Structure 1
């Protein structure tokens, strides 16, 4: 007989899901996903744009529920699809009341789905959008620590807001640089994986005041639900793991990461709820 999976915990404190891809979820209707997220006290969800093809989709998703927000940006995987028209679309919409950041942007040298020179150029162009529009940034960096640091250094003086390096799996060098510069680091279900001690080491060195919770769903489902499609409502398992790794009370982790998320993504929105 298979062992029954533990029920998803429900906490008294609200949680903000800072990084997911609602348009990629396939296992259940969106309405069910959002209802289950609210059941486990997720107060807000940020769904992330990744390509010219889903910029409008993300904007549409933010209209599906009051508590769904979005971003505008092109992932390094799709850097070769980045055009002047895509840039104009990002610039035209990233200042909307429900758009919280420029992203997901950055560098990915693990998959190398796009030429690295083009990745770097597109990364720079989108960082400039964040500078020009006074929006925070959601960064993807994989096997590209040195170039990520080099490019971010170019924008230290002009980028008014920082942001988050999400799904952090990079080394301590990038972590130290980002934290010293005021960036947040985002952690998800990887933190629960048996072989992810390197990620837990970074969690230990990250001040709780600079740490965000995310799922990156439908990817990276946390233990004990690995093998299923990930979803925002699994984020309580990430919160529990962060509290365990940092040896902090769960209530403190929930309260502080909620405050971090508000400060980074919502304080600059005109008319956004406090």
Structure 2
């Protein structure tokens, strides 16, 4: 699509909370511009996500420096073999910061298998326990691991009153239904706009709007009509538009509810608020 064919990014009346992106992947001189571009289209707050022992400090530093940015602490399944007791203790210690809103990005990825599957399962379970101990929700990555994901979550449900979100949801409807029944939220991003992502749109369709979150996973998964460019929180209005279309809701109604969902999951310190 040529630049002339690309639409301007819409600006809606209701503010948006970007619940999942990776600001530390930006060059330092690009971060200020990205944050300003996001504010210009109504993004009020941003959650930047930890994925490895190497970026726990980095995302926390960004969140401490930027008033509207918050972060998570956790180790992605790709990095599971770099996890250790010492790393787990660091995550636990850092979780007390008011700028840390969840444990994540944690989970299972059997598509790439960058880490041994047994190690992934052990590290995932250990970080679920940290989330329970710290009374924080979890941000979960799940790819091609539906059965094990469901099994491990089922084992930890009683200890996770705050639940969390399976972000960038693209798994089967069986896992979606299990997660929704267990009171988790599902996060959706630019994939919902991709031509061949009917499975993602089907998941959106069955997700109650009270359990739905908006994200970009930037710099990845740029939505149509800007697919091919590096993604950023500024493109989240296109995700919102598509989700509202699938849910047959006025865009302001969708944004209002997603804002409430984000507040309830990430910015409330009471477990009762998730019920």
Shared topology, TM-score over 0.5? yes
What SS is found at the alignment partner of 2:118? Answer: helix
What SS is found at the alignment partner of 1:239? Answer: helix
What SS is found at the alignment partner of 1:156? Answer: helix
Deviation at 1:63, TM superposition (A): 2.0
More helix by share: 2
Deviation at 1:64, TM superposition (A): 2.6
Q: Distance in 2 between matches of 1:9 and 1:28?
A: 25
Question: What residue is the counterpart of 1:179 in the other structure?
Answer: 180
Question: What residue is the counterpart of 2:73 in the other structure?
Answer: 72
Deviation at 1:45, TM superposition (A): 0.2
- Output one character per residue of 1:152-211: Cα deviation in whole Å (capped at 9) or x when no partner: 011111112100000000000100000000000000000000000110001000000000
1:126 aligns with 2:159: no
Q: Distance in 2 between matches of 1:39 and 1:241?
A: 20
Classify 1:27/1:194 alpha carbon distance in 2 versus 1 (closer, same or farther; 3 Å): farther
Question: What residue is the counterpart of 2:19 in the other structure?
Answer: 18
Alignment gaps of 5+ in structure 1: 270-274
What aligned pairs does 1:96-245 form with structure 2 within 5 A after superposition?
96-245=97-246
CA contact (8 A) 1:25 1:231 kept: no
What SS is found at the alignment partner of 2:115? Answer: coil
Q: Distance in 2 between matches of 1:248 and 1:25?
A: 34
CA contact (8 A) 1:25 1:217 kept: no
User: RMSD over aligned Cα, in angstroms?
Assistant: 1.3
Alignment gaps of 5+ in structure 2: 271-275
Question: What residue is the counterpart of 2:273 in the other structure?
Answer: none
Greater shift, 163-172 or 242-251, is seen at: 242-251
Classify 1:89/1:100 alpha carbon distance in 2 versus 1 (closer, same or farther; 3 Å): same
Question: What residue is the counterpart of 1:260 in the other structure?
Answer: 261
- TM-score with structure 2 setting the length: 0.96
Return structure 1 stretches of 4+ with deviation > 6 angstroms. Answer: none
Q: Distance in 1 between matches of 2:250 and 2:141?
A: 29
Q: Distance in 1 between matches of 2:33 and 2:65?
A: 12
Q: Distance in 2 between matches of 1:43 and 1:95?
A: 23
Greater shift, 18-27 or 94-103, is seen at: 18-27
- TM-score with structure 1 setting the length: 0.96
CA contact (8 A) 1:189 1:221 kept: yes
Q: Distance in 2 between matches of 1:6 and 1:27?
A: 28
Question: What residue is the counterpart of 1:247 in the other structure?
Answer: 248
Aligned length: 269
What SS is found at the alignment partner of 2:159? Answer: coil
What SS is found at the alignment partner of 1:238? Answer: helix
CA contact (8 A) 1:124 1:151 kept: yes
Deviation at 1:239, TM superposition (A): 0.2
